[in-house]
Amino acid sequence: MNFSYWEKEYLISPSDYLIVGMGLVGLQTAINLKEKYPKAIVTVIDRHGWGLGASTRNAGFGCFANISEILDDLKNDTIKNVYETISKRYHGLIKLRKKFGDDNIDYQSKGSIEIFTHKNKNELHEAIDSLQGINTILSQELDLKRVFTYKNNNSLPNVIGTIHNDYEGQLNTGKLYHTIYKYAQNLGINLLGGLEVLNWESNAEITIFTRQQINLRTKNLILCTNAFTPNLVDEDISPCRGQIIVSEKMEQLPIEGLYHYDNGYYYWRDIDDRILLGGARNYDSIGETTNKIETSDVIISELKRFMEKQITGKPVAIECQWSGIMGMGKSKQKIPIIKKIEPHVYVAARLGGMGVALSASVAEDIQKLLD
Ligand SMILES: Cc1cc2nc3c(=O)[nH]c(=O)nc-3n(C[C@H](O)[C@H](O)[C@H](O)COP(=O)(O)OP(=O)(O)OC[C@H]3O[C@@H](n4cnc5c(N)ncnc54)[C@H](O)[C@@H]3O)c2cc1C
């Protein structure tokens, strides 16, 4: 194809920084670089029209930790990595709110509740035993008083105890993405959808080859491709699908705020007079280790069953359902990968299942690495 003078000059001209992936990490990395170097040409590309992996498909939990997930993570990683990841999430949440504004992203500090039923009463006992120790570490790490509190009263069916985290909140995923996208556009960052990177070649500068046969040149390449990173480089990342259902509007919602259950495998919240419920990935862990953005009957049926049994206590119509793809550690490590892989080529990926808040910290860390 012959490109027009205008395309060559304004759309595909060489960049100083070319970011692959228009998710929360890619967009915020671009914003940080453009704010630091206003004269630099910063371009973000994505294989889809917009960031279509996890960033527009998540549940909008502004979360950083729940107690049974911490205990589980401590079995798979070092104490240092577990608490460093929590700290990155917590500080990321503060950055996100400060930079983009609570009103713009519809942030509401309703707190979160982890529920325990008879099925996981052993986990409840373990959580109660560890509560004080974890709170002490978190008060040193995050400067927060008593992050977790135990309560034994709850109106939800089958619940034998709850652990509350009043420092978490919920946001509107659509508004968050839209706000960040517009912010990037207003700074003069080039946002180009429909370009899938296949590979690149490094000489005096880097040439990126795309499936669409449009080659782009850049001085620095940053892969913010999360779950899809293994298609480009060999890193400890495995794609894991997450699925969500949203109920019809209800006159009286049975819950308000954020809820977690079963080591965070099930999570639900209120949104616009509806209940949003996601997870159940552990119900078919092999089937859900995939990067296919489609829903599966097995998981959707399990979510519907859980919604009626555990949340509403009665049948409820489902208005919509979808899936998204998370980037998890094959090794079960959750700390994000932020590194230089070759001269002028960087990776910022593996955001896991609590990557919304974390994204602001990862974008800041990768920008610092580029300095
Ligand atoms: C169902 C679900 C619910 C979730 N709920 C929450 C939640 O409530 N709270 C929370 O904190 N986190 C949640 N998460 C996790 C969170 O959404 C992610 O961790 C976060 O959005 C990751 O952002 P990202 O920018 O790293 O990746 P992504 O948003 O996945 O962006 C990566 C982008 O890279 C693009 N890309 C990949 N390969 C290429 C290529 N070769 N060429 C061009 N483009 C490419 C993709 O198209 C994609 O747009 C959830 C995730 C899912 C799936």
User: Are residues 311 and 183 part of one domain?
Assistant: no
Q: Which residues line ligand 1 (CB under 6 A)?
A: 20-26, 45-48, 51-55, 57-61, 63, 196-197, 224-228, 231-232, 242, 244, 278, 324-326, 351-357, 359
Calculate the dihedral angle through the C-alpha atoms of 75, 78, 81, 83, rounding to the nearest 10 degrees: 70
Ligand 1 midpoint to CA 349 (Å): 9
pLDDT for residue 153 is more than 90:
no
Do 249 and 141 belong together in one domain? yes
The predicted model gives 158-168 an average pLDDT of 94
60 and 93 belong to one structural domain: yes
Per-residue pLDDT of 307-319, as tens digits, reads 999 999 999 999 9
Residues 23, 63 share a domain: yes
Count the domains in the chain: 2
pLDDT score recorded for residue 154? 64
pLDDT score, position 2: 87
CA angle 53, 54, 60 (to 5 degrees): 155
One domain, residues 191 and 97 = yes
For residue 306, what is the enclosing H or E element? Answer: helix 297-306
**pLDDT tens digits along 25-67:** 999 999 999 999 999 999 999 999 999 999 999 999 999 999 9
Q: Are 318 and 335 members of one domain?
A: no
- Which amino acid would we find at residue 197? V
Mean pLDDT value of segment 110-127 = 94
Do 260 and 301 sit in the same domain of this protein? yes
- Same domain membership, residue 208 and residue 196: yes
Pairing mode of beta strands 148-151, 159-165: antiparallel
What pLDDT does residue 157 have?
A: 79
Ligand 1 pocket test: which of 192, 238, 246, 356 has the largest number of ligand atoms within 8 Å of its C-beta?
Answer: 356
Confidence of residue 264 (pLDDT cuts 50, 70, 90): very high
* pLDDT per residue as tens digits for the range 67-115: 999 999 999 999 999 999 999 999 999 999 999 999 999 999 999 999 9
* 43 shares a domain with 101: yes
Both 95 and 152 in one domain: the answer is: no
Domain that holds residue 133: 111-166+237-328
Atom 20 of ligand 1 has which residue's CA nearest to it? 355
In this structure, are residues 326 and 54 in contact, taking their beta carbons and an 8 Å threshold?
yes
**Domain holding 270: CATH number?**
3.30.9.10
